[in-house]
Structure 1
Amino acid sequence: MQENPSTHCVKINDIDLYFEKYLHSQSKNTIVLLHGFLSSSFSFRKLVPLLIKDFNLILIDLPPFGKSGKARNYRYSYESVSKTVLQLLEKMGDQNIYAAGHSMGGQIVLNMLNQRPGFIKKGILLSSSGYLPRSKKHLVLSSYLPFFHRFVKYHLGKTGVIGNLNHVVYDKAIIDEEMINGYSAPFDDPYIFRALTKMIRHREGDLDSKVLLTIDTPCLLIWGEHDRVVPPDIGKRLANDLPNSKLVILSGAGHLIPEEKPEEVFEEIQNFIQSDQCFS
């Protein structure tokens, strides 16, 4: 196994896309890991050491987060981000691709499954966002104001990183300096607030039930029972709408399950990928 990743930044769809790749000497299976909103690939730091024992890994910083670009001319919609990730994967040429997304990253996975049926063998949704509507019209219109990005910065700064972490984890004792610094890093680049303004403008609503019912790719849904950001009821609803899916709810966990329950998440993913069973 490759303990240290190779790091890359390539231009796809007029955006700089940063990703890390871990190569396994024998495995032919590749898992793509997609993080959530206001995060980066850092959120998988505890899951990666477990997964690299059995799989090739590709970790992607979704624009405009992490080390990926914050371009003015990029369209920050889920459809656009999903197309960008798919084009990167096509360019890389990996076979047997499995896609795992946390929170917003789960919605990107669902968009990828919808856009390219059969390209991804199985989907893994970790506390995935679901059924969120588009931003309210007044917010979309406000995003065109010249200084709206300052409001975005102020709004996100009100609770701060520590406040956000307290909201997304169940056991507050796991919050340490490394975690605080890692989740603060995406905001070191001041241009992210202009990009987030465009995301407010461009982000369409989550995929609705009619679309989800057409996705027959096997999907594993993993949730924390104490998730206050995306409650387990959303997971149950997604499991009902996705025709070939299974829901697992982890006790003693909140929204940030890759950090809170990495061993349990790894075991569920490993069993899911190795199994030929379908859930329909």
Structure 2
Amino acid sequence: MTLRRTRIGELTIAYREAGRGPTVLLIHGWPTSSYLWRDVIPWLAPANRVIAIDLPGFGGSTKPLDAPYDLPYHERVLDGFLDDLGVDRLALVGHDIGGPIAVSWALHRPERVLGLGILNTVLDGEVSDAAAELLRVLAAPGTRNRLVSPRGLATVMRLGVAGGTRLDEDTLAAVAAPFADDDAREALLRAANGLDPRALAEVTAGLTAITAPVRIIFGRHDPLLPDVDRAVARLTARIPHADATVLDRCGHFLQEEEPERIGRLLATFLGTLAAGPARTG
């Protein structure tokens, strides 16, 4: 599935697209891209128009060094991107930092949201010691550049899958390929630090207002979450109508580990969505 590209202002935004029907937008996290969804998309495309975006700073999209990479910035990019593709109402599925980006966009545009999927992300403000250490490394001058080197990115990806999963060299090379020069790696570092904790707290507070259908799918063995069962319980406490599944054999990058299972679960969810827009109360 080849990358397509479109211009949004001064940005080139890359994306993958397949299928016809109601639109679902897949939003990756750090340090991945639409490539992460490559084996999930075929399970959704028979009944949906599936669009997987490369966020600015990632994949084949422009990697500006002067972008704030905060939630309002990502929301503006999504607005322009969806307008360009002629998308009005849609479902959104977010993984990692794509989770708060998807939820924040949905909270500000509830009339356009058919449903939300949330995969292995932090939306309750609680992070593990491992996540805190990752953020420290990303900010430290002596270590930050090593983390976004090909070897560093391979380490991040390997740590993010459960013990029984081995990522092949082609996959690791594809993750690292968009960050072949110093400017691209610097943009990746800035994208990691762009989400303001105060803005994330606002997203967390807004979860209780969501009335659109919600599907939560987490891999249990995620080193970035302090306790997956507790994280999911906290999410479902704020979104009582959400349907949640925890996969025992998956870690953080569950799309790499069980893409067919993820695809089938999301396809079933998307098939249940009403044709009309959701409302928030």
TM-score scaled by length of structure 2 = 0.82
- Distance (Å, rounded) in 2 between the aligned partners of 1:151 and 1:255: 22
Give the equivalent residue in structure 1 for 2:208.
213
Q: Give a deviation string over 1:84-122, Cα, whole Å, max 9, x none.
A: 112211232225411111111111111111121121210
Gaps of 5+ in 2: none
SS in 2 for 1:160: helix
Contact 1:33 1:57 (C-alpha < 8 Å) held by counterparts: yes
Measured after TM superposition, the shift of residue 124 of structure 1 is 0.5
Question: Aligned ranges for residues 165-184 of structure 1 at < 5 Å?
Answer: 165-184=157-176
Alignment of 1:236-247 (within 5 A): 236-247=233-244
State the Cα distance separating 1:36 from its structure 2 match: 0.9
- What amino acid is the match of 1:102? H
Verify: 1:17 aligned to 2:13, yes or no.
yes
Tell me, in whole angstroms, the C-alpha distance in 2 between the residues paired with 1:155 and 1:256. Answer: 17
Higher RCO (CA-CA < 8 Å; seq separation 6+): 2
- Is 1:204 the equivalent of 2:199? no
> For 2:188 and 2:124, how far apart are their aligned partners in 1?
20
**Aligned with 1:185: secondary structure?**
helix
Give the deviation of 1:260 after TM superposition: 0.9
- 1:194-223 per-residue CA deviation (whole Å, 9 max, x = no partner) reads 324544664212244422212222211001
| Residue number in structure 2 paired with 1:192 | 184
3-state secondary structure, aligned to 1:76:
coil
Q: Percent identity at matched positions? A: 22
Partner of 2:254: 257
| Residue 52 (structure 2) pairs with residue 59 (structure 1) | yes
2:218 aligned with 1:223:
yes
- Decide whether aligned partners of structure 1 residues 95 and 82 sit closer, same or farther in structure 2, where only a CA change above 3 A counts: closer
Separation (CA, whole Å) in 2 of partners of 1:63 and 1:187: 13
1:273 to 270, 274, 279: 270
Cα distance change on mapping 1:173 and 1:151 into 2, 3 Å: closer
Per-residue CA deviation, residues 112-154 of structure 1 (Å, 9 max, x unaligned), is 1112112121011111232348999xx99x97xxxx8775313
Range that drifts further, 14-23 or 178-187: 14-23
Q: Secondary structure at the match of 2:146?
A: helix
1:212 alignment partner, SS class? helix
1:80 aligns with 2:73: yes
| Equivalences, count | 265
Establish whether residue 130 from structure 1 lines up as the match of residue 123 from structure 2.
Answer: yes
CA–CA distance in structure 2, aligned partners of residues 113 and 74 of structure 1: 22
Instruction: Provide the C-alpha distance between the structure 2 equivalents of 1:242 and 1:125, rounded to a whole number of angstroms.
Output: 12
Q: Name structure 1 gaps, 5 residues minimum.
A: none
- Change in Cα spacing, 1:249 to 1:202, as seen in structure 2 (3 Å) is closer
Please report the RMSD computed on the Cα atoms of aligned residues, expressed in angstroms: 3.1
Three-state SS of the structure 2 residue aligned to 1:93 is coil
Contact 1:168–1:227 (8 Å) recurs in 2: yes
Letter in structure 1 aligned against 2:15: F
The worse-fitting range, judged by mean Cα deviation, of 171-180 and 43-52 is: 171-180
Q: Equivalences for 1:95-106 in 2 at 5 Å?
A: 95-106=88-99
SS at match of 1:121: strand
Distance 1:96 1:158 in 2: 38
Distance (Å, rounded) in 2 between the aligned partners of 1:49 and 1:199: 28
Is 1:91 matched with 2:91? Answer: no
Contact 2:37–2:255, Cα closer than 8 Å, also in 1: yes
- Whether 1:248 aligns to 2:245 is yes
| Superposed structure 1 runs of 4+ greater than 6 Å apart | 133-136
Contact in 2 for aligned 1:9/1:68 (Cα 8 Å): no
